A = this chain, B = another copy of it.
Amino acid sequence: MDRPLLIDGLQYANWSKTIFREMHEAGMAAVHVTICYHEMFRETVANIERWNRWFERYPDLICPGRTAEDVRRAHAEGRTAIVFGFQNPSPIEDDIGLVEICHQLGARFMQLTYNNQSLLATGCYEAEDAGLTRMGREVVGEMNRVGLVVDMSHSGTRSTLEAIEASKRPIAVTHANPAWWHPALRNKPDEVLKALAATGGMLGFSLYPHHLRGGPDCTLRDFAEMIARTAETMGTGCLGIGSDLCQDQPDEVVSWMREGRWTRNADYGEGAADAPGFPPQPSWFRGNRDFPGLAPALRAAGFDAAETAGIMGGNWLAFFERSFGPQA
C-alpha cells in the first residue's frame, strides 16, 4: 500500500533534529511552519537564515516547500517539505513591496492579524472589528497576485468575512475549530465557515488544547466527530488539519506569542493568571508521531478512505497547487 500523504497546516515547534526526525518517522510530507509571530522584516530574514542552515544540515529529513511539486517530491523521497508562514503581517512592515520579497524568500501563508489590530485588519481579541483597512485591501490584492495565502486564523469575524470577499483567490483559516463546538474567541462562527467553504477556502482543525472542547481532556473520538459534523455543512474537500502544535516549546515562548512587544504587562490570551504557560496536550496528540493516528479516528467517525486521505493531507496539497504560484 502507498504511504499516505500527510500534511499539517500549522505548527510552531521548538525545531530541532529530534523534531525533524519525528516528522520523518511520522511520514509527514509537508508542515506549514510559523517562522514569525511579531518579527519585523529583518528579524524574519534572520529566521529564514536559520531555516536555510537546517535545510543544509538535515537534507535527508527536510527540504523547502515552495510548491505543491516540492511536497510531492518530498513525499516520494521520505522527506518533509517545510512551508513558511507568518502569523502576523509584521514582516511586511508598512511596505507592500515586501509581500513579493517575502514570497521570493519562501513565505506562502500570512495572517493579516494576530489577535490585535494590525495595519491590515482586526484581530479576534479587539473589542471592535472595523474590517479590512485601506492598506489591508491593497495587500490582499498583492498577496493574490504573487501567491501568498491570506490566513485569517486569529482575525475577527468581520475582518475575516471581508477578507474572504476581497480576496480573488481562496483564503485559509489554517488553525481553528468551529465555535459551535467550543466557543473560544479563536474558534470560528458558522457564517465564517460557510463563506470559507463557498469560496474554495480551507479550514485546518486545531489541536491546541484551548481550541478543544474539554481542553486537554478532549477525546480523539469527540475531535473526529466534530470534524464529521463540520463536513455536513462545509463538505469534506475544504478540510484539513492545522494542529497548532507547539512541540518542545518552553513557557516563555507563549509570552512572546501573546505579548510580543506591544505591552509591558502580562497578557494571558487563552490562558489565565494561574495557568500562564502552554496547556498540556491531549494524551493522543503530543507530537508529530501522533499525527498518523488521526486517520483511524476519522474513519471511525464515518469518513471513507478517500475523504480521510483528503483531510489528512490531500486537500491541503490541492490547495497548495492552486494557491502558491502567481495569479493566472
Which residues of A come within 8 Å of B, CB atoms?
A: 41-42, 45-46, 48-50, 52-53, 95, 97-98, 100-101, 104-106
Contact = CB atoms under 8 A, between A and B. Distances in A.
Contact of A42 (B41, B48, B104): B41
A22 to B, nearest CB: 26
B105 A52 contact: no
**A-B complex: 8 closest residue pairs judged by Cβ atoms:** A49-B97, A52-B100, A104-B105, A45-B101, A49-B101, A42-B42, A104-B104, A48-B101
Given A105-B104, A105-B105, A98 B49 contact: yes
20 contacts: A41-B42, A41-B45, A45-B98, A45-B101, A46-B95, A46-B97, A48-B101, A49-B95, A49-B97, A49-B98, A49-B100, A50-B97, A52-B97, A52-B101, A53-B97, A101-B105, A104-B104, A104-B105, A104-B106, A105-B105
Interface of A is mostly: helix
A143 to B, nearest CB: 14
Contacts of A46: 95, 97
A52 to B, nearest CB: 5
Contacts of A53: 97
Nearest to A101: B45
Nearest to A50: B97
Nearest to A96: B49
A46 B53 CA distance: 25
A52 B98 CA distance: 10
A36 to B, nearest CB: 15
Nearest to A105: B104
A46 B100 CA distance: 11
A105 B52 CA distance: 14
A38 to B, nearest CB: 18
